[in-house]
């Protein structure tokens, strides 16, 4: 039973920040056996927690010399005998190749009858080089420094009865951090439940009652405590239920730690998450406005312009209508591209289909027939056969934007080359134009939204390559642009993971 309690106690304290506290902390039970030994204590003493936990103090006293062990043993015995907190400064300790001076504070733990029930030991290194490393004056007292640390440690030790209101049987002296005194609780005028925030009391009582009824012996709660000033702080409570000989609960032993900073941080994160959610909602609203409230009137304008062009005979008026038609078409393209881009940004996962990229590109090319004929361009596709990959139909948007760019930036009577290159498990699709090319400093940023190079007379929304980038990111594929090695122009390329062609089972996920 003692071993089980030891394991549970170690688990409880290890789950707290005491394990990573900047001062050494070790705890003994009433038989002087180690039940907790934190990482800093290992560093200071040269002992490992796995070697001392469950062992008696007499077998593992910090220090290498007889004198050092005797000093610690005497300090421990004096504290245990007097049942009063005791401190010593500049206590020497030697471990292999190192020497330290320590400040030690021992705090006895008492049971409900006021009898000795264990010991908490706080240890801090105060050797000269350690103080200098912290930027502290050599003359500063180690004892006074440790005293301040002891009172600032955000852990308060409680023992309270399971009776109504949880009368306090013991509380550590640093309860004064909340503005109370030990005497207020010892007199019975103030119970533990009295300092629990009124809004948290009912839930805390219900939780303890439920867990006790379920046979739980250890409890973990987060709730608010009231300072005497009326302010509150968030605490984390870890407690052990003690039962009498009949197995009935009669006492709780616990530690209460201030977690106000943690809770404030969590509240900030939650508030930030709510703000992000509102921003996303506004983005969705804006996307809806783009798709419906803007696209519809733009389409109406386009329709009326076409009707007027059919009826109008005056050349000057026809020129003006042509300007309106061009601007309206550009507006519609922008609205549709912005809508696509916003939709793509809201997608995290997509379905994949086994697709021949060559055939997909050829079918996309058909949509540009009139533009190709208008500029009298020659289109050449080079492929050694089918090139299959598991992709989403969105890839047609990638091909459409790369084709659109090549056509727009190519001179009349020019040539656009499309190549499908395979290398191991990769398919690389390249689109080469004979335009003016792209300066090296713009080769990366050109894939950012609204980053369109200033080309006089070239139409575009500045979103096409941003759409390419997003779709390729969803496919975990590559994208980029290079100079045309054969002369003037650029080579835009994208890469996909190669797959075996399997038209019988097109959907992969």
- Tell me what pLDDT residue 403 has: 93
Q: What DSSP string runs through 172-238? A: -GGGGGGT--HHHHHTTSS-GGGGB-HHHHHHHHHHHHHHHHTT--EEEEEEEEE-TTS-EEEEEEE
Q: Which two tokens stand for residue 423?
A: 């290398």
- Kindly state the greatest CA–CA separation across the chain: 115
Q: What DSSP string runs through 413-465? A: T-EEEEEEEEETTEEEEEEE--SS---GGGTTGGGSTT-----TT----S-HH
Q: DSSP label at 411?
A: P
Count of CB atoms situated within 10 Å of the CB of 280: 12
Torsion of CA 275, 280, 286, 289, to 10 degrees: -120
3-state secondary structure of 476: coil
- Tell me what pLDDT residue 430 has: 95
**CA distance linking residue 18 with residue 24, whole number of Å:** 9
Going from the C-alpha of 39 to that of each of 42, 49, 87, 382, the distances in angstroms are 5, 8, 21, 66
Q: Which two tokens stand for residue 29?
A: 């039970």
- Residue 368 and residue 407 in contact, taking contact as beta carbons nearer than 8 Å: yes
Burial class (CB in 10 A: 0-12, 13-18, 19+), 463: buried
- Tell me what pLDDT residue 466 has: 86
Count of CB atoms situated within 10 Å of the CB of 30: 15
3-state secondary structure of 81: helix
**CA distance linking residue 339 with residue 461, whole number of Å:** 12
Burial class (CB in 10 A: 0-12, 13-18, 19+), 14: middle
- Tell me what pLDDT residue 145 has: 41
> Which pLDDT tens digits describe the chain residue by residue (509 residues)?
434 444 444 444 444 556 766 678 888 999 999 988 888 888 888 888 888 988 998 887 766 566 767 778 888 898 898 888 777 765 655 554 455 566 787 888 877 677 888 888 888 776 544 444 444 333 334 344 434 444 445 578 888 888 888 999 888 888 888 999 989 998 888 999 999 999 999 999 998 888 888 887 777 889 999 999 999 999 988 888 887 777 788 888 888 888 888 888 888 888 888 887 777 666 666 666 666 666 677 778 888 888 888 888 888 888 888 888 877 777 776 667 666 767 776 677 788 889 999 999 999 998 889 889 999 999 999 998 889 999 988 898 899 889 998 998 899 999 999 999 999 899 999 999 988 888 888 888 888 865 555 444 444 446 788 889 988 998 999 999 999 888 788 999 999 999 988 866 666 66
Locus of tokens 């699709």: 429
Burial class (CB in 10 A: 0-12, 13-18, 19+), 73: middle
Relative to beta strand 116-125, strand 24-29 is antiparallel
Q: Among the residues of 63-195, which ranges form H helices?
A: 66-82, 128-133, 142-152, 182-186
Locus of tokens 């929304």: 461
Q: Which two tokens stand for residue 238?
A: 């870890």
Q: Which two tokens stand for residue 348?
A: 């995290």
Judged by phi (left if over 0) then psi (alpha if -120 to 50, else beta), residue 166 lies in left
**CA distance linking residue 96 with residue 257, whole number of Å:** 35
- Cα–chain center distance at 458: 44
Count of CB atoms situated within 10 Å of the CB of 368: 18
**CA distance linking residue 168 with residue 180, whole number of Å:** 13
**CA distance linking residue 40 with residue 48, whole number of Å:** 10
**CA distance linking residue 397 with residue 344, whole number of Å:** 11
**CA distance linking residue 362 with residue 387, whole number of Å:** 12
Look at the alpha carbons of 41, 47, 51, 55 in this order and tell me if their dihedral is positive or negative.
negative
Torsion of CA 497, 502, 503, 507, to 10 degrees: -60
- Residue 274 and residue 293 in contact, taking contact as beta carbons nearer than 8 Å: no
């Amino acid at each position: 039973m003692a071993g089980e309690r030891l394991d549970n106690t170690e688990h409880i304290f290890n789950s707290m920040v005491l394990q990573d506290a900047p001062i050494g902390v070790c705890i003994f039970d009433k038989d002087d056996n180690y039940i907790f030994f934190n990482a800093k204590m290992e560093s200071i003493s040269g002992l490992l927690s796995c070697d001392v936990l469950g062992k008696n103090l007499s077998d593992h006293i910090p220090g290498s010399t007889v004198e050092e062990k005797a000093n610690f043993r005497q300090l421990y015995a004096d504290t245990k005998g007097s049942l009063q907190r005791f401190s010593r400064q500049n206590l020497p300790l030697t471990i292999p190749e190192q020497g330290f001076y320590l400040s030690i504070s021992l705090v006895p733990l008492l049971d409900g009858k006021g009898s000795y029930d264990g010991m908490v030991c706080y240890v801090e290194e105060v050797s000269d080089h350690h103080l200098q490393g912290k930027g502290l004056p050599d003359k500063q007292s180690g004892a006074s420094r440790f005293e301040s640390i002891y009172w600032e440690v955000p852990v308060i030790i409680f023992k309270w009865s399971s009776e109504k209101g949880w009368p306090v049987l013991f509380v550590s002296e640093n309860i004064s951090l909340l503005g109370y005194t030990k005497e207020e609780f010892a007199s019975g005028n103030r119970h533990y439940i009295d300092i629990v925030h009124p809004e948290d009391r009912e839930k805390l009582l219900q939780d303890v009652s439920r867990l006790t009824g379920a046979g739980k012996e250890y409890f973990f709660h987060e709730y608010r405590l009231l300072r005497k000033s009326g302010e509150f702080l968030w605490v984390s409570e870890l407690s052990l239920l003690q039962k009498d000989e009949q197995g009935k609960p009669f006492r709780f032993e616990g530690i209460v730690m201030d977690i106000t900073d943690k809770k404030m941080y969590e509240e900030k994160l939650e508030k930030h998450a709510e703000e992000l959610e509102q921003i996303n909602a506004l983005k969705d609203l804006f996307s809806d406005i783009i798709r419906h409230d803007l696209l519809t009137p733009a389409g109406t304008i386009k329709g009326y312009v076409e009707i007027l062009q059919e009826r109008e005979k005056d050349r000057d008026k026809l020129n003006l209508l042509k300007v309106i038609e061009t601007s309206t078409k550009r507006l519609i393209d922008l609205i549709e591209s912005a809508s696509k881009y916003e939709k793509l940004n809201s997608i995290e996962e997509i379905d994949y289909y086994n697709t021949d990229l060559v055939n997909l590109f050829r079918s996309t090319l058909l949509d540009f027939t009139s533009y190709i004929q208008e500029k009298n361009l020659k289109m050449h596709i080079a492929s050694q056969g089918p090139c299959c990959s598991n992709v989403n139909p969105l890839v047609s948007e990638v091909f459409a934007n790369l084709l659109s760019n090549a056509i727009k930036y190519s001179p009349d009577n020019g040539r656009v080359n499309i190549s499908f290159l395979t290398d191991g498990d990769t398919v690389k699709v390249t689109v080469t134009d004979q335009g003016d090319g792209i300066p090296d400093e713009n080769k990366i940023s050109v894939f950012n939204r609204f980053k369109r190079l200033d080309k006089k007379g070239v139409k575009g929304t500045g979103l096409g390559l941003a759409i390419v980038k997003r779709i390729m990111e969803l496919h975990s594929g590559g994208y980029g642009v290079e100079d045309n090695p054969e002369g003037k122009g650029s080579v835009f390329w994208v890469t996909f993971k190669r797959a075996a062609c399997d038209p019988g089972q097109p959907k992969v996920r």
